[in-house]
Amino acid sequence: MPVRIRLQRFGRKKVPFYRIVSCDSRSRRDGKFLEVLGTYDPLIKNGQKEVRLNIDRCRYWLGVGAQPSDVVQRLFGQFGVLPPHVHKRQRQSSIPKNQREFSTSAAAPSTIPTHKYLSDAIINQNAAWAISNLLKK
């Protein structure tokens, strides 16, 4: 039985309140659950959102292989149950482009001198063009 740790919605219309539960991954969102692990109130009261967790039970379920949903993983990262979630695509730099300092060291020189081969290619192309024009006449 694959177990997930996810949010179960309670509350009324436009006033959500969630329970953090461990449940079978095939059960409905508000269906049967195995255990209530905590609560999450996303509405801001006194300047912050309210989260209550039973950290010991959360670690137990993670230890036996339960997979947290994305939102629950983010919440667990904030409260130290899991390491903080690392985004796959990190921004390269938070410094604006015009304020970045670029390295002054020169890039490694190319091993092939392109100007010599480029001029040979132009000469060969001109010769081929001249030969094709002679054959057309």
Indicate if the pLDDT at residue 27 is higher than 80.
yes
In a domain, 93, yes or no: no
Yes or no: say if 36 and 21 are a contact pair by the CB < 8 Å rule: yes
Round the average pLDDT of the chain to a whole number and report it: 78
Residue 25: inside a domain: yes
In a domain, 65, yes or no: yes
Q: Which two tokens stand for residue 109?
A: 């020189």
Name the band, by pLDDT with cuts 50, 70 and 90, for residue 99: confident
Residues 59-79 pLDDT 10s:
999 999 999 999 999 888 888
Domain range for 18: 3-78
- CATH number for the domain including 73? 3.30.1320.10
In-domain check, residue 90: no
Give dist(CA 91, CA 85) in Å, integer. Answer: 15
Can you give the pLDDT at residue 130? Answer: 65
CA atoms 19, 3, 60, 80: torsion sign: negative
Total domain count, the chain: 1
